[in-house]
């Protein structure tokens, strides 16, 4: 497709070289920007639903002088405060938050990065030490090179577009080819200026055991911001923000989302100025960040994933889900079925021996489990959560014959074996600390706080990271586990690295998470067939970057069915069920004390990587039979749930909820309906489905036969026809937090 003055090498990126205008489009979305004349900085023109590729953009020009400071007086060029910019700078007529800030040798912080050139590359950028989007040979990347007029510094802005996913991946690369060092005080991954503020802001917020609840609030003038300074993405704020039109629903309306591929301190900012323009930014948190850009070195920001949907929040989620499953998760783990696991934690906590574990494994095998996971407490002298963190040697009091003997007995049951580690944790009663006390993160001359009675290893120190790699490898090579759960149960306090010099202490947080990535990289490269699951006190480090290494993550330490419905609903805005650790546990629930029906715990848990978290030896025969059915149900729906399109539905009763997953060919679907609190004398319930073929006839649970258009416009009836057997209606069991599963199969008329 060629336009006068415009050319494209790949039908994804169109360029007017004379006017320096750039249009990225895949026919579904358009991302348009241009170089501002004289200023030579990048101006944002448009991001949203695809528009025509024009020969030039002069019909979209807006250049009213406006009030305020002028960069060039008497030129008719408005100040940057009035312009929508791609990567706004600090301190030069724009009084909003900048995307970056650099301190020069004389203490000055004013930069002037101007357009120099561009490149169009096939595929996506590759970063050896940072998680990145991958497996996308059919994608294209526009690279804009900017050069600072006050130094030798160079800045590359990367924009990757995909032919089949409505996403733009952005990040920035700073390079210092000169002889002087500079301090990067802020470096965001992406900034997006939008022409209006008539949006609702959507964020995913919470705390430990109640992560990623959905919050929606109107924008207001000024700054609205979320983030983390905990050294991890954190339970409190997911690194995701979305701006939705006021009328946007799950299936209708426009929404723009940005999420960050990073596991450390993050910051998401909405800045609405006095002219009603909205700036949307994400990246590494500015707090306690000071990166020294040495001569001949570069600094790469994490990738930001920007998406647009005109099909509501579900459309936005589909974009993210497809990207994660196809372009972030390691290819080796994209297709294999996930094992059904039993984790011993809530069954035994620290009180176990080999016989108790094997007995639990046999019960798990009987209900269909494939994988036995030994959690915390197998090492050192760990009988409580105080001590032993860092001494990764088996506790011979609990396992006198060693881990390998236990593993062999589990394998003899034709089950896989998994092991829990928390490599970042450190206790002062360990040989690791006594031999390497300088590896503790924090200044030993000052008071250091604890989290879960433990400290942290300084992962900014590559010697410490390599030591842990060798220590873990020794255990792995001896017992040959099939699965590893990597936990991290505390945040960073009193940040200080005994390894780094004093002038580099502003780099501790970022270098720490790079150390985490490095250990993950070494382990997954050496042991590609081990299934890794990430965890951080539940969902405390739940982000795109973690899924680059571990194809699944423990979604929350809260396994209560009611809480999990809310947590997994919010989580699904960005993350697909295929990566959500979701298990069935005992009642009363250990986190909430709530009692929920066993079938509801099963029905909710199958929408994730499924397993069990309680003492199966204490269950009744009826409960075991129900769990056997649950395991079979998971296996029946596994591929559909893991590979299909996930929808959050909007039932007629606002106190209820519903999930739906459709196969890509729209021939098979499953719906989970959640009733919440039981209601007496209620009316008829129904829910409108989504994403079906309107002309296809579907059979629902082998009974009703309804067309797709009926199911999407009239709705799925949730009540049955009791004519002729009314007594069955009055005698049916009623319970709070009830759920029902509906299976839809395409049939011929």
Residue 8 resides in a domain:
no
Active site residues: 487, 557
Model confidence at 183: pLDDT above 90: yes
pLDDT band at 7 (very low <50, low <70, confident <90, very high): confident
- CB proximity list for 682: less than 8 A, separation 6 or greater: none
Residue 1 resides in a domain:
no
Query: Average pLDDT in the 322-343 region?
Result: 96
- 117 and 150 in one domain? yes
CATH code, domain with 680: 2.60.40.1180
pLDDT given for residue 4 in this prediction: 57
pLDDT given for residue 694 in this prediction: 98
Considering 57-66, 196-205, 716-725, the range whose residues carry the highest mean pLDDT is 196-205
- Structural domains of the chain, count: 3
Residue 145 resides in a domain:
yes
CA distance 58 to 56: 6
Query: Average pLDDT in the 705-730 region?
Result: 91
CA distance 260 to 239: 6
Query: Average pLDDT in the 256-276 region?
Result: 97
Model confidence at 257: pLDDT above 70: yes
pLDDT band at 75 (very low <50, low <70, confident <90, very high): low
The secondary structure of 640-666 as a DSSP string is: HHHHSEEEEE--SSTT-EEEEEE-TTS
Domain-ending residue, one of 327, 359, 384: 327
CA distance 708 to 744: 10
Query: Average pLDDT in the 97-111 region?
Result: 96
- 274 and 415 in one domain? no
Residue 3 resides in a domain:
no
pLDDT given for residue 1 in this prediction: 42
pLDDT tens for each residue of 586-616:
999 999 999 999 999 999 999 999 999 999 9
Model confidence at 76: pLDDT above 70: no
Domain-ending residue, one of 626, 643, 660: 643
| H or E segment to which residue 65 belongs | none
Model confidence at 725: pLDDT above 90: no
List binding-site positions for substrate. Answer: 208, 375-376, 452, 485-489, 535, 557
Range(s) of the domain holding residue 608: 331-643
pLDDT more than 70, % of the chain: 98
Rg (alpha carbons) of the chain, rounded to whole number: 27
List binding-site positions. Answer: 208, 375-376, 452, 485-489, 535, 557
- CB proximity list for 736: less than 8 A, separation 6 or greater: 596, 676, 677, 678
pLDDT tens for each residue of 41-73:
999 999 999 999 999 998 888 777 667 787 777
Residue 4 resides in a domain:
no
pLDDT tens for each residue of 653-682:
888 999 999 999 999 999 999 999 988 888
Model confidence at 518: pLDDT above 80: yes
Query: Average pLDDT in the 303-323 region?
Result: 98
Say how far residue 218 (Cα) sits from the centre of its chain.
Answer: 24
pTM over 0.95: yes
Taking all residues of the chain, what is their mean pLDDT, rounded to a whole number?
Answer: 95
pLDDT band at 573 (very low <50, low <70, confident <90, very high): very high
pLDDT given for residue 91 in this prediction: 86
Say how far residue 615 (Cα) sits from the centre of its chain.
Answer: 31
CATH code, domain with 167: 2.70.98.60
For residue 14, CA distances in Å to 7, 413, 686 come to 6, 59, 47
CATH code, domain with 517: 3.20.20.70
Domain-ending residue, one of 327, 349, 371: 327
Under 8 Å between Cβ of 555 and 533? no
pLDDT given for residue 3 in this prediction: 56
Q: Residue 673: phi, psi to the nearest 5?
A: -105, 130
pLDDT given for residue 9 in this prediction: 79
Say how far residue 559 (Cα) sits from the centre of its chain.
Answer: 19
pLDDT tens for each residue of 367-393:
999 999 999 999 999 999 999 999 999
């Amino acid at each position: 497709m060629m336009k006068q003055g415009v050319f494209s090498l790949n039908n994804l990126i169109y360029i007017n070289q004379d006017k320096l205008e750039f249009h990225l489009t895949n026919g579904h979305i358009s991302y348009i920007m241009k170089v501002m004349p004289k200023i030579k900085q990048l101006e944002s023109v448009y991001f949203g639903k695809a528009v025509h590729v024009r020969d030039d953009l002069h019909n979209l020009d807006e250049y009213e002088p406006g009030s305020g400071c002028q960069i060039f007086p008497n030129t008719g060029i408005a100040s940057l405060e009035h312009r929508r910019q791609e990567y706004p700078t600090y301190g030069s007529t724009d009084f909003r938050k900048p995307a970056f800030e650099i301190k020069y040798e004389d203490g000055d912080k004013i930069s002037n990065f101007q357009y120099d050139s561009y490149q169009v590359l096939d595929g996506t950028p590759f970063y050896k030490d940072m998680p990145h989007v991958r497996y996308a040979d059919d994608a294209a990347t526009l690279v804009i090179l900017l050069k600072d007029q006050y130094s030798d510094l160079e800045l590359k802005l990367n924009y990757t577009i995909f032919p089949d996913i409505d996403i733009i991946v952005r990040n920035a690369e700073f390079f210092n080819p000169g002889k002087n060092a500079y301090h990067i005080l802020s470096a965001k991954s992406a900034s997006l200026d939008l022409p209006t503020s008539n949006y609702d802001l959507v964020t995913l917020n919470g705390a430990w055991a109640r992560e990623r609840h959905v919050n929606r609030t109107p924008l207001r003038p000024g700054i609205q911001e979320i983030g983390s300074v905990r050294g991890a993405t954190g339970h409190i704020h997911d690194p995701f923000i979305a701006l939705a039109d006021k009328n946007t629903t799950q299936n209708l309306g426009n929404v723009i989302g940005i999420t960050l591929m990073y596991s450390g301190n993050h910051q998401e900012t909405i800045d609405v100025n006095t002219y009603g323009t909205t700036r949307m930014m994400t990246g590494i948190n500015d707090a306690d960040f000071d990166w020294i850009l040495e001569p001949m070195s570069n600094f790469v920001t994490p990738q930001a994933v920007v998406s647009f949907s005109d099909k509501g929040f579900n459309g936005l989620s589909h974009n993210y889900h497809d990207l994660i499953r196809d372009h972030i998760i390691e290819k080796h783990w994209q297709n294999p079925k996930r094992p059904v696991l039993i984790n011993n934690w809530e069954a035994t906590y620290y009180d176990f021996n080999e016989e108790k574990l094997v007995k639990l494994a046999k019960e798990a095998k009987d209900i269909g489990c494939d994988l036995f996971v030994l959690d915390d407490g197998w090492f050192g002298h760990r009988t409580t959560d105080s001590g032993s963190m860092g001494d990764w040697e088996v506790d011979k009091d609990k396992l006198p014959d060693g881990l390998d003997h236990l593993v062999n007995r589990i394998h003899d049951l034709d089950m896989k074996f998994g092991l829990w580690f928390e490599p970042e944790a450190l206790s002062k009663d360990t040989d690791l600390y006594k031999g390497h006390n300088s590896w503790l993160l924090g200044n030993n001359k000052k008071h250091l706080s604890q989290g879960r009675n433990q400290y942290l290893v300084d992962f900014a120190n590559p010697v410490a990271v390599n030591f842990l790699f060798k220590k873990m490898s020794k255990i792995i090579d001896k017992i040959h586990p099939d699965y590893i759960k990597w936990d991290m149960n505390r945040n960073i306090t009193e940040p200080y690295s005994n390894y780094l010099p004093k002038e580099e202490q502003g780099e501790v947080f970022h270098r720490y998470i790079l150390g985490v990535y490095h250990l993950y990289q070494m382990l997954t490269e050496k042991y590609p067939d081990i299934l890794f699951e990430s965890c951080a006190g539940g969902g405390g480090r739940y982000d795109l970057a973690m899924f680059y290494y571990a194809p699944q993550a423990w979604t929350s330490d809260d396994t209560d069915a009611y809480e999990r419905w809310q947590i997994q609903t919010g989580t699904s805005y960005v993350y697909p069920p295929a990566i959500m650790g979701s298990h069935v546990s005992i009642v009363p629930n250990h986190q909430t004390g709530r009692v929920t029906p066993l079938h509801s715990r099963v029905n909710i848990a199958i929408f994730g990587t499924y397993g069990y978290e309680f003492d199966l030896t204490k269950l009744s025969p009826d409960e075991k039979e129900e769990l056997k059915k649950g395991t079979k149900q998971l296996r029946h729906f596994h591929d559909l749930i893991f590979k299909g399109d996930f929808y959050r539905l909007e039932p007629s009763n606002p106190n209820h909820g519903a999930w739906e997953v459709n196969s890509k060919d729209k021939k098979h679907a499953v719906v989970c309906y959640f009733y919440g609190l039981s209601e007496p004398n209620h009316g008829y319930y129904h829910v409108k489905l989504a994403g079906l073929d309107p002309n296809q006839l579907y059979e629902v649970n082998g009974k009703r036969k309804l067309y797709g258009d009926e199911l999407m416009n009239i709705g799925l009836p949730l009540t049955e026809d009791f004519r002729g057997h009314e007594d069955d209606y009055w005698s049916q069991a009623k319970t709070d937090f009830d759920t029902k599963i509906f299976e839809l199969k395409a049939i011929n008329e």
